[in-house]
């Protein structure tokens, strides 16, 4: 339960700081401000809570012995698309261009390093589009009202 609460809390924390969240984009556009300004204000708001949370998590878990049951491979090149999206979003580039750049770069890296082939890429893309179908319909209905 402790680990689950930490993961869910971390996800909520990350959503608040996200540069490509639907609510973030809507807030920035309706208030006629810059994405970087919203990020800076949010950062100042959440840092005290993050510091307290880190301390509480450390205090509650410092006496436990953790054993690693599996070693996972980590490749820095696969982090580059995430960094690209974050950096371009902070700079203030259009969100569609930022996401398109991240998709293209991650696709290229996956094809080059053999994580998937062209068929796998196309299958993942089609599954992603189908997964967004319900949200797209809601957006079309709301936009038309």
Task: Indicate whether 95 belongs to any domain.
Answer: no
List the domain range (segments joined by +) for residue 3. Answer: 1-66
Task: Indicate whether 140 belongs to any domain.
Answer: no
Which is nearest to 142 in space by CA: 20, 26, 15?
26
Task: Indicate whether 35 belongs to any domain.
Answer: yes
Backbone angles phi, psi at 21, to 5 degrees: -80, 145
For residue range 50-101, list pLDDT tens digits in order. Answer: 899 899 989 988 888 878 888 888 889 999 999 998 888 878 788 889 889 9
| pTM score, whole prediction | 0.64
Compute the distance between CA of residue 122 and CA of residue 117 in angstroms, rounded to an integer. 9
Task: Indicate whether 105 belongs to any domain.
Answer: no
For residue 127, what pLDDT band results from cuts at 50, 70 and 90? very high
Q: For 44-55, what is the mean pLDDT?
A: 89
Task: Indicate whether 47 belongs to any domain.
Answer: yes
For residue range 93-125, list pLDDT tens digits in order. Answer: 888 898 899 999 999 999 999 999 999 999 999
What is the domain count for the chain? 1
Contact 111, 121 (CB under 8 A): yes
Angle between helices 118-131 and 95-113 (to 10 degrees): 150
């Amino acid at each position: 339960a402790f680990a689950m609460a930490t993961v869910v809390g971390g996800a909520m924390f990350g959503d608040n700081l996200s540069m490509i969240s639907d609510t973030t984009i809507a807030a920035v556009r309706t208030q006629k401000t810059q994405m970087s300004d919203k990020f800076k204000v949010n950062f100042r708001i959440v840092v005290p809570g993050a510091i307290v949370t880190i301390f509480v998590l450390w205090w509650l878990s410092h006496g436990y012995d953790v054993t690693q049951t599996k070693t996972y491979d980590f490749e820095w090149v696969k982090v580059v698309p995430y960094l690209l999206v974050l950096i371009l979003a902070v700079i203030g580039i259009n969100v569609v261009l930022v996401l398109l750049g991240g998709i293209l770069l991650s696709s290229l890296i996956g094809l080059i390093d053999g994580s998937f082939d062209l068929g796998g890429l196309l299958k993942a893309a089609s599954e992603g589009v189908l997964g967004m179908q319900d949200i797209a319909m809601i957006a079309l209905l709301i936009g038309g009202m």
